[in-house]
Each structure stands twice: as C-alpha cells, then as structure tokens.
C-alpha cells in the first residue's frame, strides 16, 4: 500500500528538550507517545547546523558542497532533481507549509540579489512542489512569535493572527479539507519555532512561558558555559511545548479523517542550539551565535518516525544522520533513488540489514568557519580552514585541528582535548576517518595540518 507521509520539522530544537530524550519537564507528551508507538533514534545528528544548507539537503539529498547551498541566502539550484520531483512522479500530492529559506540569493552579508525574503516565492523556486503551498522564504522576516503572513500557491498573501506555530498548523490542517482523496500525500510542516526571533534577539514562547517553565533545569553544557540560556530557556521550552501541542492537533485531525493508520509521521529538526556558548573565538559570529559548530548542542537532534512499518516502540542506539531523510522518505513512497542521494534508508538501520555499517556521522560546518566534523559513538573530532571566511567559501584544500572530545568521559563537551598528547593516536585515527568522509562526500582528500 501507499502510505501518506508527514515531515513535521522544527527549527533549532535540541534533542534534550523532549521527554523521550531526557527532558525532566512535561514538554513533549505527544512526541513521547509517538516514540512509544514507533521508532526513536537516540543518536541522530544534523549534517549541517545552519538553516538554509540543511534545508537544501533535505530537499535534494545532496551535500551543501554539491548543491552550492553551503550558507544561508543561496538559491536551491533548479537543475537538481528534488525530493518533491521524485515523490510527485510517484503519484503523491504534495503540501508544503511554513519556512522555505531557499529562494533568495546574494553575496555574503549583503542585500540579496534575488530577494524573496518577504515576497511570494515564484513557482520555479519552490523546489518542485506544485501542490498546496502556504509558505514564506524567511518566516522570521514575515512574522514574529505572534502574527504575520505567508503566501499560497497562487502568490496570494495570507495574514494570520495568534501564536505563529498555532497559525502555521491551522494552515496545514486546511489541506485535509481540500486534498485529492484519490492520491496519497506528502506534507511538510516546516515550523520556525523554537528559533530565536532575529530582530528581537530573543526566543519567543507563547505568553506565560516564563512563568510556566520557571523551574527549568539547564542541560549540563549550558549550566557550565552560561551563554544566554538562563534568560532564554523558559521561552525556548514554551515554544517546544507549543510545537508538541500542535503535533497533537495534527494527529487528532488525522484520526478524525480516518488517515492516522495509513500515515507515517517523521518528527525532527534542522539543528540544535548552543545558546551563545560556543564559537566564542570563531572566525566570525564573535559569540553572538546559536549554532554553526561541531558540538552536540548544535548537531544532536530529535528524530522519531511512527506509522506503517515504523512501529514497535524501538529505540535505535546506532548513530544516524538526518542527511538520510530524503532517501528514507522516498523509500516510504516506494521510490529507490540508489546513489542519486546520499545517506541510507533508515529502516535498514532499524532492521540491522548491514552488519558492517560504520557507527559514525559526518557534518559540514559553514558561516562560523569552513569546518568538517566526524562524530563516533565515543569521540567528536572537528577541523577548520585557517584564514578562510566560512560565509564566502564552501570548502578548503587545507584544514587544521579545531576540537576533540571524549564523549564518554565528557558528555557535555567541556574539555577540548585537541592538544592533549594522551589522545594523539586517537586523533590520528579520527583524522583518517574524517578524511575518508571528506573524500567520499566532496571528491578530494584535503590536508589536515598538525
């Protein structure tokens, strides 16, 4: 049978905001229930901890260095066959609601040459989606925590009033009253929450969040390194809780329409947040930053899939990358793209089909630096390109050591071991593994300086 597929993804949400990943407060009861029904990936990681590049990968199944979308404000190239192209060819109706972030283009830190940040996204810049469309290119520019606007498939402006995540979900629920019931559907709900509101420089939870979550407990990295978490965390948790409430609304609508048993729901995010605790000596950002680093605070994300064959309340302990989501979604739709997309079908990981699978993930890092990172079950090792601006260049021929963490001894990554002689051999082994990843992903083998 053909399953309906919903990709419900958030923006800048740490895994440890979720109850099923250890959050002590009752923030995500609906997601936690899905995890008990379906599959939870305990150690899922982002392949690119920046909004635009990660979204480009989600739409193409290709690394940012392949598509050219290695930083924000770069167009998704029209010649790349996308997830939407494949899945519509397979007979699916598509719906996209929320933040797009792939339709403006320009030089680094300058006004975009092609600017759809606050205007309708032309059909040719929608990555192949031809169906239901309720989106803005940069949703945090067309709205705040409360009130704003998006555009529909005919470029009509749709204003909304109320808490933004509630309104985006309202727009998504409208789809179920007008969809083609003769087709399966693939819906993406791309929320901006809990991402901070750029122009106000704050996380914006629903009114009352500061009081409701005043008894928060900071994760160990934030407690030790401070940043701005003490002030911002209650609103951050409030936004996460609201996203979960809206996930519950979506599930209820599927059940009302008799669609729940025939639908696979994927919950994840683009990357996490380190609350201005990292990148303090980065090659830009100056500490005024929430992501763009190799740390688990940025890279480790929630990933829960439930419905269809994704069942059993199973927790997968192997490391996986969300780079695999496009290939996995297409496999759900019966489409085998082979080597046309990176990653793996995550159901194969659940079913342990490859006994020789390497238990490690790779990430490209941009904007704060030109960086590359490998995360194994025990270690994190990252390099950067000296003297190169991460907003202007996608890659480098030469890298240097940046970070090394022993995640078993130091789970909050507080002690950088990059110059510790006791870890010299381990560093060399990780360096070779990282070079293998770079060569596989980017087609060349750079030099990493001692």
| CATH number, position 383 | 3.30.1120.10
pLDDT score at 108: 86
> In the chain, what percentage of residues exceed pLDDT 70?
98
Whether residue 390 is found in the same domain as residue 344: no
Task: Examine residue 329 and state whether it is found in any structural domain, yes or no.
Answer: yes
The pLDDT score that the predictor gives to residue 289 is 85
pLDDT at 384 over 80: yes
pLDDT attached to residue 286: 43
Instruction: Looking at the structure, tell me whether residues 178 and 323 fall in a common domain.
Output: yes
Q: How confident is the model over 254-270, as a mean pLDDT?
A: 98
Residue 90 belongs to domain with CATH number: 3.40.720.10
Domain boundary among 350, 381, 411: 350
The verdict on residue 53 lying in a domain is: yes
Average pLDDT score over the chain:
95
| Residue 288 pLDDT | 59
CB-CB neighbours of 429 under 10 Å: 14
| 236-256 pLDDT per residue, tens | 999 999 999 999 999 999 999
Give yes or no: residues 180 and 264 share one domain. Answer: yes
| Residue 333 within any structural domain of the chain | yes
Question: Does 401 fall in a domain?
Answer: yes
Q: Are residues 306 and 438 in the same domain?
A: no
Please determine, for residue 272, whether its predicted confidence score (pLDDT) is greater than 90: yes
Residues 61 and 209 both lie in one domain: yes
Examine residue 194 and state whether it is found in any structural domain, yes or no.
Answer: yes
* Whether residue 340 sits in one domain with residue 373: no
**The pLDDT value given to residue 281:** 62
Output the CA–CA distances (angstroms, integers) from residue 132 to 123, 153, 180, 260, 300, in the order listed: 12, 6, 11, 20, 31
Q: Are residues 236 and 325 in the same domain?
A: yes
Question: What average pLDDT does the segment 339-366 reach?
Answer: 96
For residues 59-84, give the mean pLDDT: 95
Residue 409 clears pLDDT 50, i.e. is over it: yes
- Looking at the fold, whether 226 and 375 belong to one and the same domain comes out as no
Q: Say if residue 110's pLDDT is above 90.
A: no
* Higher-pLDDT residue of 112, 82: 82
Let me know if residue 361 belongs to a domain: no
Domain match, 252 and 169 both: yes
| Same domain for 386 and 343 | no
Are residue 422 and residue 344 in the same domain, yes or no? Answer: no
- On whether residue 362 sits in a domain, the answer given is no
Q: Which of 350, 383, 400 is the last residue of a domain?
A: 350
Residues 123 and 186 in one domain: yes
pTM over 0.75: yes
Range of the domain at 396: 369-449
- Predicted confidence at residue 287, as pLDDT, reads 46
Q: Look at residue 47 and tell me whether its pLDDT is greater than 70.
A: yes
Average pLDDT over residues 65-92: 95
């Amino acid at each position: 049978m053909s399953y309906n597929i919903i990709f419900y993804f958030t923006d800048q949400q740490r895994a440890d905001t979720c109850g099923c990943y250890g959050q002590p407060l009752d923030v995500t009861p609906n997601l936690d229930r899905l995890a008990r029904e379906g599959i939870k990936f305990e150690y899922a990681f982002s392949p690119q901890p920046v909004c635009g590049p990660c979204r480009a990968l989600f739409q193409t199944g290709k690394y940012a260095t392949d598509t050219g979308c290695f930083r924000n404000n770069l167009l998704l190239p029209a010649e790349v066959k996308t997830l939407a192209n494949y899945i519509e060819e397979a007979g699916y109706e598509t719906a996209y609601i929320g933040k797009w972030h792939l339709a403006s283009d320009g030089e680094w830190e300058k006004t975009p040459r092609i600017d759809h940040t606050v205007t309708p996204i032309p059909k040719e810049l929608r990555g192949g989606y031809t169906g239901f469309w309720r989106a803005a290119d940069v949703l945090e520019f067309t709205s705040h925590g409360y009130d704003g606007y998006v555009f529909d498939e005919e470029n009509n402006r749709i204003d909304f009033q109320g808490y933004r995540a509630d309104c985006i979900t309202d727009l998504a629920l409208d789809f179920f009253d007008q969809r083609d019931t003769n087709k399966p559907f693939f819906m993406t709900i791309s929320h901006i929450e809990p991402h901070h509101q750029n122009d106000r420089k704050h996380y914006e939870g629903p009114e009352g969040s500061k009081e409701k979550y005043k008894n928060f407990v900071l994760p160990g990295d934030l407690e030790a390194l401070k940043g701005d978490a003490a002030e911002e965390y209650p609103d951050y948790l409030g936004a996460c809780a609201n996203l979960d409430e809206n996930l519950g609304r979506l599930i209820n609508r599927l059940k009302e329409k008799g669609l729940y048993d025939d639908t696979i729901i994927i919950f994840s995010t683009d990357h996490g947040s380190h609350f201005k605790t990292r990148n303090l000596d980065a090659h830009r950002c100056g500490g005024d930053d929430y992501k763009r680093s190799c740390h688990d605070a940025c890279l480790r994300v929630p990933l829960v899939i439930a419905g269809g064959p994704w069942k059993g309340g199973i927790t997968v302990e192997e490391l996986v990358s969300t780079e695999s989501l496009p290939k996995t979604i297409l496999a759900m739709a019966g489409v085998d793209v082979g080597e046309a997309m990176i990653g793996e079908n995550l159901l194969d990981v659940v079913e342990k089909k490859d006994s020789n699978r390497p238990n490690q993930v790779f990430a490209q890092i941009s904007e704060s630096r030109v960086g590359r990172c490998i995360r194994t079950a025990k270690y994190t090792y990252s390099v950067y390109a000296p003297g190169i601006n991460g907003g202007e260049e996608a890659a480098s021929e030469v890298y240097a050591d940046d970070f090394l963490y022993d995640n078993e001894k130091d789970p909050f990554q507080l002690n950088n071991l990059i110059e510790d002689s006791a870890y010299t051999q381990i560093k060399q082994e990780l360096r070779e593994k990282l070079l293998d990843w770079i060569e596989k992903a980017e087609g060349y083998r750079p030099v990493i300086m001692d």
